[in-house]
């Protein structure tokens, strides 16, 4: 993303990816996290099943009832989540309806931008409503820490309590990107085949296993793809620190900036939420 919690995290800490059984350890040694607002946050190991069936593992930062992983992704922390990884079906929003509620301190211009950022996702059949009495909804609040208004992050999928941290200096890309996480999408550049398409440094998470959702080619146009650059502590681009470089030589400015969902983003959600389950002997479903 352009401005997100991962940018802050990368300037002061490294979230490492741990190898699962049978997988080689990813390159990149952990660095000391002795500066910035994350310095006093406890770190916890996790192994988590993503909504699309893949597995991610590493070390996250404990923030309330959540762990912050891969810079801008929130997953439930123990003991909120069970020892067993969450079932895929439980990570999807019932009926594709998402209710949200802003905390009082969120300024009106941020509210307007966050609500407008739902627009691209309505193309996949999602509907977004202000909460009235619904038990499960997205709580939208400000940035984590005073002075870091370029920080955005969100929960991954339907795993209550669902949180959306919307810093007032985030961009349209950021706000759209975070809604993608809430619907269940993870980062494009974390795909298990990403090394065929991009060169990344050791601080960029990678997940293991193939997606259970409709497979498409690697998509540099995905709104779930990060841009190329690291960040300074004030959120500005660090042009000297290229985090993700395309192997095909395309411009460093050609990915990670889109403000809408790509066709592959929408197709992944169509597949996840609308696909008919397999039927026939041994599947538990009778073919109609």
Report pLDDT for 35. Answer: 41
**Secondary structure element (H or E) that encloses residue 84, with its range:** none
Q: Is residue 287 in a domain? A: no
Q: How confident is the model at residue 30 (pLDDT cuts 50, 70, 90)?
A: very low
- Min mean pLDDT across 165-179, 197-211, 254-268, 274-288 is at 274-288
Burial bucket for residue 258 (CB in 10 Å: 0-12, 13-18, 19+): buried
Q: Is residue 285 in a domain? A: no
- Min mean pLDDT across 129-133, 170-174, 198-202, 204-208 is at 204-208
Report pLDDT for 282. Answer: 55
**Residue 87: how many other CB atoms lie within 10 Å:** 11
Considering the chain, what percentage of its residues have pLDDT values greater than 90?
47
Q: Is residue 52 in a domain? A: yes
State mean pLDDT over 107-135.
97
Q: Is residue 97 in a domain? A: yes
More confident residue, 150 or 123: 123
Report pLDDT for 139. Answer: 98
Report pLDDT for 281. Answer: 60
Looking at residue 187, which CATH number applies to its domain?
3.40.390.10
Q: Is residue 286 in a domain? A: no
Q: 254: number of CA atoms within 13 Å, CB side?
A: 11
For residue range 79-104, what is the model confidence (pLDDT) as tens digits? 444 443 334 445 899 999 999 999 99
Q: What is the mean pLDDT of the chain?
A: 79
More confident residue, 31 or 217: 217
Indicate the Cα dihedral angle 210, 152, 269, 134, nearest 10°.
130
Report pLDDT for 59. Answer: 86
State mean pLDDT over 212-216.
67
Q: How confident is the model at residue 149 (pLDDT cuts 50, 70, 90)?
A: confident
Strands 43-49 and 152-155: unpaired
Q: Is residue 284 in a domain? A: no
For residue range 56-80, what is the model confidence (pLDDT) as tens digits? 888 888 888 888 888 899 988 874 4
Q: Is residue 95 in a domain? A: yes
pLDDT at 182 over 80: yes
CB 142 within 8 A of CB 167: yes
Provide the residue range defining the domain that includes 212: 5-274
Residue 153 vs residues 70, 142, 243: alpha-carbon distances, Å:
10, 10, 19
pLDDT at 140 over 80: yes
Q: Is residue 288 in a domain? A: no
More confident residue, 69 or 139: 139
Structural domains in the chain (count): 1
For residue range 228-249, what is the model confidence (pLDDT) as tens digits? 998 887 778 889 999 999 999 9
Instruction: Please tell me the pTM assigned to this model.
Output: 0.80
More confident residue, 204 or 114: 114
- Residues 144, 12: Cα–Cα separation, whole Å: 15
């Amino acid at each position: 993303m352009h401005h997100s919690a991962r940018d802050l995290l990368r300037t002061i800490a490294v979230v490492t990816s741990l190898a699962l059984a049978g997988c080689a350890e990813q390159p990149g040694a952990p660095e000391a996290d002795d500066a910035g607002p994350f310095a006093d946050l406890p770190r916890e190991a996790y192994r988590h099943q993503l909504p699309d069936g893949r597995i991610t593992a590493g070390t996250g930062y404990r923030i309330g009832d959540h762990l912050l992983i891969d810079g801008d992704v929130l997953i439930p922390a123990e003991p909120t989540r069970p020892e067993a990884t969450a079932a895929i079906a439980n990570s999807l929003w019932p009926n594709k309806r998402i209710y949200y509620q802003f905390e009082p301190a969120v300024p009106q211009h941020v509210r307007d931008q966050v609500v407008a950022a739902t627009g691209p996702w309505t193309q996949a059949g999602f509907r977004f409503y202000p909460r009235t009495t619904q038990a499960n909804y997205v709580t939208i609040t400000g940035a984590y820490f005073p002075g870091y208004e370029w920080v955005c992050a969100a929960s991954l999928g339907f795993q209550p309590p669902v949180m959306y941290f919307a810093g007032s200096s985030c961009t349209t890309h950021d706000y759209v990107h975070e809604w993608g996480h809430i619907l269940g999408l993870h980062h494009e550049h974390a795909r298990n085949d990403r090394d065929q398409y991009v060169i990344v440094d050791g601080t960029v998470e990678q997940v293991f296993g193939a997606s259970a959702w409709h497979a498409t080619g690697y998509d540099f146009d995905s709104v779930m793809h990060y841009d190329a650059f690291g960040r300074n502590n004030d959120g500005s681009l660090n042009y000297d620190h290229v985090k993700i470089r395309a192997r095909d030589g395309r411009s460093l400015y050609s990915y990670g900036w889109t403000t809408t969902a790509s066709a592959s983003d929408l197709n992944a959600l169509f597949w996840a939420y609308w696909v008919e389950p397999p039927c026939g002997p041994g599947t538990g479903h009778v073919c109609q």
